[in-house]
Amino acid sequence: MSEQPHLLTETVDGVLIATLNRPEKLNALSRETMELFGEAVLRFRDDPELRAMLIRSSGRFFCSGADMKGDAGRKPPETATEIRENHRIGLFGMQSIYDEMEHIEKPIVCAVHATCVGGGLEMALSCDFRLAAKSAEFSFPEGLFGVLPASNGVSRLTRLCGPHWARWLVMANRKADAERALVMGLVHDILPDDGFHDAALDFCRHLTKNDPEQMGAAKIAIDLVAELGRDSARHVERMANSGLMLNPGYKRRIEDYIAKIGKK
């Protein structure tokens, strides 16, 4: 019997669902996983019928990180330059895929039902929304080996949660359960274990109902203003709205909203 694909995809109500599918390997990210995942990300980017993407997994781990045995036959990097280049273009293409996820002008949701570590956490950090089941747990084991999580683990974590909590996960090498992850700002919401995947899909369905132009503009604007001063950030808001308010759907929606309010 042939081995199951390391990643499964399906489409439900305009949502592309990508499911990590190596439960016997704790959903470690293999070369095959990342190749299939990269294809799914590009499919999501290019298909206008796909309005949201949901990343989830099966088994007792959400993801145990990169498959440490996946490149067993490959010569390891021997110089600092080779190591830096391997982080940038190697590691099964993780960095370029995660960068692309951030740039796509559509919402990507990660639904973490269990333990999520290393490269799996870096994948989650690259998403627009992170939902956690009560049983979820997050950590970066790289500190145990004397190195840093270098496929956005330090950079995106610090940007999202601040230096305070980045020190907790990266320097102190401590774990965060779902409750602490919510306090940190690492996840947006905690959902019950029972029915978790259905609830995550319902959230994605909610996202598909929003105006796609507004969603794309909001994703870009939020990333920009996070790096800008007050005045420049306000320019970004005005520039984004100057296009959105010319959208024919805007006038119709505002008129419908005013009429609805007037009936109350």
Q: Which of 122, 137, 227, 255 is catalytic?
A: 122
Strand partners, 112: 132
Contacts of 232 (CB under 8 A, 6+ apart): 225
What 8-state DSSP symbol labels residue 168?
A: I
Lookup: tokens for 219: 């994703």
DSSP conformation letters of 187-256? -SEEE-STTHHHHHHHHHHHHHTS-HHHHHHHHHHHHHHTTS-HHHHHHHHHHHHHHHTTSHHHHHHHHH
Q: Which of 3, 82, 137, 142 is catalytic?
A: 142
The yes-or-no answer on residue 237 being catalytic is: no
The yes-or-no answer on residue 122 being catalytic is: yes
How many whole angstroms separate alpha carbon 177 and alpha carbon 135? 8
Active site positions, annotated:
122, 142
